[in-house]
Amino acid sequence: MAVRKTSHFWIHAGLISFTLLTIYPVLWVLALAFSGQQSVGLVDLPKDPSFLERARGILPWPAHVSVKNFVDVMTEQPFGRWLLNSVLVSVMTTLLGVFLACTAAYAFSRFRFPGRDSGMLAFLVSQMFPGTLMLIPLFIIIVKWLGLGNTFWGLVIVYATTAIPFCVWMLKGYFDTIPIDIEESALIDGASRQTIFLKIILPLSTPAIAITALFSFMTAWNEFILASVFLEAETMYTAPVGLRFFVGGFSSQWGFFAAGSVIVSLPVVILFLYLQKYLVSGLTAGSVK
C-alpha cells in the first residue's frame, strides 16, 4: 500500500509540474494584459536585487491591475475592425465548410460510385502535407486566376478548402455509425433522400457537426500565414494579422499584444464550453427500435 501511495504521489507531482509549466506562459500574457503597461518587465528590480526580489520578478503578477490595455486596444487601435473581419471570415468559412463537408461525407458514406475510395484517399493524402506547401498554388488560383486577392471571399475559399478534408473524414465516420435501417424505414414510408438527409441524418449527427463547425471556425479564426499573404489593405486584416503589428522591429507594444491575444481567445473558449455538451455520443441508441 505504501509503495502504491508513493507511486501515485510522483505521478501527481509530475502532472502538476507539467500543468504549471503549461499555464505559466498563459499567466504571463494575462498579467501583461492587465498590467496597463507595454513593457514585459512587470516589476522594476533594484540594482542588486535579493533572492525574494528576483523571485517576485519572475512571478506573472502585475504590480497594479488595470484594464487600460483592453480599453486602448479597442479605442486607439483598429483592433475592433480586425476582430469584426475575423468574425465575418470565420462564420462564412464555418457555414461553407460544414455544408460541403456534410453533403460530401453523406455521399461517401451511403452511396457507391466510381472513384469513391480514391476520393477518400485523396482527402487523406492532402492532410499529410503542411499548409504552407499549398501557399503558392493557392495564391496563383485565388489571386491570379480568380482575382479574389485582398477579399474576404478569397480567404473563405482557401480556409474551407483546407478544412474540408478533415471534416469529411470525421463526418463520414460518424455517418457510418448511424444504422441504415432508419433510412430504409423512411424510404418505405415515402420519404425522399433529401428529407432523410435533412430531417433524420443531420439531427442525429449533431455532435459530429458541432465539432466540425468548431474545427472550421478555429481554422479560420487562428490562421495567420495565409491571411497575411492574401490580405494587403490594413482595413481588411483579420485579428491574428493585426496582432503582428503590435510587435515590430522598431516598437513593441506588448500590452496591446497581450490584451488583443486575450480578446481573440475568448470566442474560441466560449464556443468550446457551449459545444462540449454535444461531445456526448450515443444519440442514436435505441433509434432503430
Q: Of 266, 248, 210, 254, nearest to 94 (Cα)?
A: 210
pLDDT of residue 48: 58
CATH topology (fold) of 78-279 = MetI-like fold (1.10.3720)
Domain limits, CATH 1.10.3720.10, in the chain: 78-279
Cell numbers for 85: 473581419
| pLDDT classification of 286: cutoffs 50, 70, 90 | very low
Q: What is the pLDDT of residues 74-113, one digit of tens each?
A: 998 899 999 999 999 999 999 999 999 999 999 999 988 8
pLDDT exceeds cutoff 90 at 6: no
Q: Of 271, 261, 274, 216, nearest to 82 (Cα)?
A: 261
pLDDT of residue 3: 54
Alpha helices (H) in 59-115, listed in sequence order: 68-75, 79-110
Break the chain down into helix, strand, coil percent, rounded to 5: 75, 0, 25
| pLDDT classification of 252: cutoffs 50, 70, 90 | confident
End-to-end CA distance of the chain: 49
Q: What is the pLDDT of residues 22-32, one digit of tens each?
A: 898 888 888 88
Query: Which amino acid belongs to residue 134?
Result: M
Which of 5-14, 98-107, 207-216, 263-272 bottoms out in mean pLDDT, i.e. has the lowest? 5-14
Q: What is the DSSP string of 213-257?
A: HHHHHHHHHH--HHHHHH--SGGG--HHHHHHTTB-SS-B-HHHH
Q: How far is CA 10 from CA 3, 6, 7, 71, in A?
A: 11, 7, 5, 44
Q: Of 217, 243, 229, nearest to 78 (Cα)?
A: 243
Q: Is 266 helix (H, G, I), strand (E, B) or coil?
A: helix
Percent of the chain predicted with pLDDT > 90: 35
- Give the global pTM: 0.84
